[in-house]
Amino acid sequence: DAGVIQSPRHEVTEMGQEVTLRCKPISGHNSLFWYRQTMMRGLELLIYFNNNVPIDDSGMPEDRFSAKMPNASFSTLKIQPSEPRDSAVYFCASSSGLPQETQYFGPGTRLLVL
Amino acid sequence: AQSVAQPEDQVNVAEGNPLTVKCTYSVSGNPYLFWYVQYPNRGLQFLLKYITGDNLVKGSYGFEAEFNKSQTSFHLKKPSALVSDSALYFCAVRDMLGGNKLVFGAGTILRVKS
């Protein structure tokens, strides 16, 4: 299996622009997680989906952030408009959905907002 | 509420010596416990997990961890450290009653010197 796939791997954009991050989970996994990692705040869970349905979005910073999962093999995290404080590494992870199962992480998208 | 504490920001050890990276947790039910490792500019890689059964869990790359319910700890250990073990290590916990959400510690930097 190719593992969790994220694109782009790096993104540099200017403040105010829209940013879309993409994730393809491991085939057969039905839970998907979006995390953000910064030096100041560490690893934060933004949102997670079970069977394409958002279950907990309490970690989404504000209305500028939105996430969708239109089908079992694709999810997006969108930031509109982007701000310099959004600069971070964004990880997607997936699991089979059972609590004892392991979450497997993608390589991350490094976002820099100028 | 679930929480994880990694009391050491950094652990330094000489190559060939045993290493321990500490983790304590708090959950309301029985825990599922995980260790991940992150190398520079990479995603998190799963090392090992405790679900039930034997308190000593063996994982990848020669790592092991001991679940101690009375001390609510899940310390990561390795008998003989390698320079290549130098990385950022995360402990995470999931409450059996808390759905699929994993709570991560702040991470511990392990530096192994030759």
What would the pLDDT profile of B30-72 be if each residue is shown by its tens digit?
Answer: 889 999 999 998 999 999 999 988 999 999 999 999 999 999 9
Return the structure tokens found at B15.
């190559």
> What's the mean pLDDT in A32-43?
94
Q: Which residues of A touch B98 (CB under 8 A)?
A: 99
Among B residues 1-40, those touching chain A with beta carbons less than 8 Å apart? 32, 34, 36
At B113 the pLDDT is: 97
CA B88, CA B108: separation in Å to the nearest integer? 6
The sign one gets for the Cα dihedral A53, B26, B51, B111 is positive
Return the structure tokens found at B4.
């994880």
Neighbours of B29 (CB within 10 A): 11
At B28 the pLDDT is: 83
Disruptive mutation site among A4, A10, A43, A89 for chain B (greatest number of B CBs within 10 Å): A43
CA A24, CA A4: separation in Å to the nearest integer? 6
Q: How confident is the model at residue B97 (pLDDT cuts 50, 70, 90)?
A: low
| Of B40, B43, B45, B70, residue with least CA distance to B55 | B70
Please indicate whether, in this complex, the C-beta atoms of A91 and B43 are within 8 angstroms of each other: yes
Peptide bond into B40 cis (omega under 30): no
